[in-house]
């Protein structure tokens, strides 16, 4: 008894003992869940395994902008279509939410009473109404648009109906690859110019018009080439044939509803993060930079934002993760994302619930970890570097 107590009073032993206990219990629990599951699956004659991935899906997915999908393709391809659609709405949503969030966050701090109040109302509204309702709201509005035969026409090239937004599809002809190469070259050289100009300014204090020269390089240089090559670009216009428009590019209302709801909802959170970030920079910084005669826009760009970013980026990362995970709500409006296609239809047609869910969860986990990884790298790069 005494010796036992003695052992337990040893801090090192105690900590190892309890940690082993916790790990052991966890492993036992895990073992228990897995064995019960496989026991019951076997008992109910539910087939398990991964071979279903190679079986033909048998159903069609219409929304697949990156991969051609036919009903004879496999469930594995359903998975890839789903991942791409999830990424599409997540990436576009994150970009839009960031831009909107930054603008709104700054407006919220503006001294204009009306503007700042309007943003306040927007933020409170979209933060406090469930996202699912917002998605359904947007979708309900979109399917009340005119029917396809009565589409609204804009400039004779865009058509809006409850089947989506139809626009001309650009067709790149043979010479266009030179223009693309020109754009890439222009981007690289403006990046190099920017570096060179910074170095020169550090050394000599002389400034170089980086912005206007980059614009010139990126836009005007390829444009001239484009015309020299005889405009190797044409458009395929959508045409109403039979039931639907044929040809052209189309953005479906399911995607638009998801995109709008996700970006508007998340932008509200981001705008608050941006506001908090800007307010965290002490007032003295602004006053000091005004005192040395910097312009208002420069104060924001050179003094306030870089310091605010240190506060903004960590919670911003978690908003990106939220948006990506929230995109799984696409199922509510039939947006063919990962959960809806692979985690829903494939799961249901094959009955392989555990396998499908495991794959879907692992996929979301990897997407989230990838976002965190890159955001952490970015976060480190903007931290205050002590010398």
Binding site for another protein (CB under 8 A): 32, 36, 39-40, 43-47, 58-62, 71-72, 143-144, 147-148, 162-163, 241-244, 246, 253, 331, 334, 336, 340, 344-345, 347-351, 353
Nearer to another protein (CB atom), residue 180 or residue 348? 348
Would you list the DSSP string of 234-248?
Answer: EEEPPEEETTEEESS
Under 8 Å between Cβ of 145 and 161: yes
**DSSP letter assigned to residue 383:** S
- Name the residue nearer to another protein (CB basis): 71 or 285: 71
C-beta of 39 vs 66, nearer to another protein: 39
Can you tell me whether residue 185 is helix, strand or coil? Answer: helix
Closest to another protein by CB, 45 or 207:
45
Give yes or no for a contact between 87 and 340, defined as CB atoms under 8 angstroms apart.
Answer: no
Residue 71 Cβ vs another protein, minimum distance, rounded to whole Å:
4
Find out whether 179 and 232 touch, Cβ atoms under 8 Å. Answer: yes
Distance CA 73, CA 112 (A): 57
User: Within 10 Å of residue 16's Cβ, how many Cβ atoms?
Assistant: 11
Q: Is the separation of the CB atoms in 78 and 337 below 8 Å? A: no
Least separation in angstroms between residue 252's CB and another protein is: 9
Rounded to 5°, angle at Cα 78 from 132 and 361: 55
Shortest Å distance, C-beta 288 to another protein: 58
Minimum distance from residue 36 beta carbon to another protein (Å): 5
Q: Decide: 261 and 330 in contact? Cβ < 8 Å.
A: no
Residue with tokens 């393709």: 73
241, 244, 248, 249 alpha-carbon torsion, rounded to 10°: 180
Cα Rg of the chain (Å, integer): 28
- Residue (227 or 243) nearer to another protein, CB: 243
How far apart are alpha carbons 191 and 197 in whole angstroms? 10
Task: Report the C-alpha gap between 237 and 232 in whole angstroms.
Answer: 17
Smallest gap from Cβ 277 to another protein, in A, equals 40
Q: To the nearest whole angstrom, how small is the minimum distance from the Cβ of residue 248 to another protein?
A: 14
Taking the complex as a whole, the smallest distance from the CB of residue 255 to another protein amounts, in Å, to 13
Comparison of 126 and 346: residue with beta carbon closer to another protein: 346
Which residue number, 254 or 272, has a Cβ lying nearer to another protein? 254
Choose between 162 and 379: whose C-beta lies nearer to another protein. 162
CB of 326 to another protein, least distance (A): 18
Residue closer to another protein by CB (options 175, 334) is: 334
Query: Which structure tokens are listed for 76?
Result: 């594995």
CB 238 within 8 A of CB 159: yes
Give the residue among 263, 235, 212, 115 at the shortest CA–CA distance from 166.
235
In angstroms, what is the minimal distance from the CB of 54 to another protein? 15
């Amino acid at each position: 008894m005494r010796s036992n107590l003695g052992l337990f009073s040893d801090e090192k032993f105690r900590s190892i003992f309890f940690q082993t206990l916790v790990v052991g219990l966890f492993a036992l629990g895990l073992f228990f869940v897995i064995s019960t599951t496989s026991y019951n699956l076997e008992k109910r004659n539910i087939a398990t395994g991964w071979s279903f991935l190679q079986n033909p899906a048998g159903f069609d997915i219409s929304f697949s902008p990156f991969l051609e999908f036919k009903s004879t393709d496999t469930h594995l391809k359903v998975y890839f279509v789903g991942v791409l659609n999830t990424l599409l709405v997540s990436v576009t949503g994150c970009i839009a939410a960031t831009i909107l969030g930054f603008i709104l966050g700054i407006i919220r701090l503006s001294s204009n009473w009306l503007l700042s109040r309007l943003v306040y109302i927007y933020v409170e509204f979209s933060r406090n109404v469930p996202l699912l309702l917002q998605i359904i709201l947007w979708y309900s509005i979109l399917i009340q648009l005119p029917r396809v035969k009565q589409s609204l026409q804009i400039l004779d090239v865009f058509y809006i109906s409850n089947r989506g937004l139809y626009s001309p599809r650009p067709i790149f002809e043979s010479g266009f690859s030179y223009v693309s190469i020109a754009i890439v070259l222009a981007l690289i050289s403006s990046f190099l110019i920017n570096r060179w100009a910074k170095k020169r300014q550090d050394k000599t204090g002389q400034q170089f018009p980086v912005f206007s020269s980059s614009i010139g390089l990126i836009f005007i240089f390829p444009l001239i080439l484009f015309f020299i090559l005889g405009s190797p670009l044409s458009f395929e216009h959508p045409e109403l044939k039979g039931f639907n428009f044929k040809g052209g590019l189309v953005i479906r209302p399911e995607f638009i509803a998801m995109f709008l709801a996700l970006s508007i909802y998340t932008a509200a959170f981001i705008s608050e993060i941006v506001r908090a970030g800007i307010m965290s920079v002490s007032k003295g910084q602004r006053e000091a930079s005004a005192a040395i005669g910097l312009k208002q826009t420069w104060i924001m760009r050179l003094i306030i934002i870089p310091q605010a970013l240190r506060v903004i980026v960590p919670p911003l990362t978690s908003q990106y993760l939220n948006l990506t995970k929230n995109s799984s709500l696409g199922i509510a409006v039939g947006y063919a994302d990962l959960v809806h296609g692979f985690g829903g239809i494939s799961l249901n047609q094959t009955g392989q619930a555990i396998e499908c869910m495991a794959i879907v969860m692992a996929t979301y986990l990897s997407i989230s970890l990838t976002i965190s990884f890159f955001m952490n790298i970015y976060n480190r790069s903007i931290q205050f570097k002590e010398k």
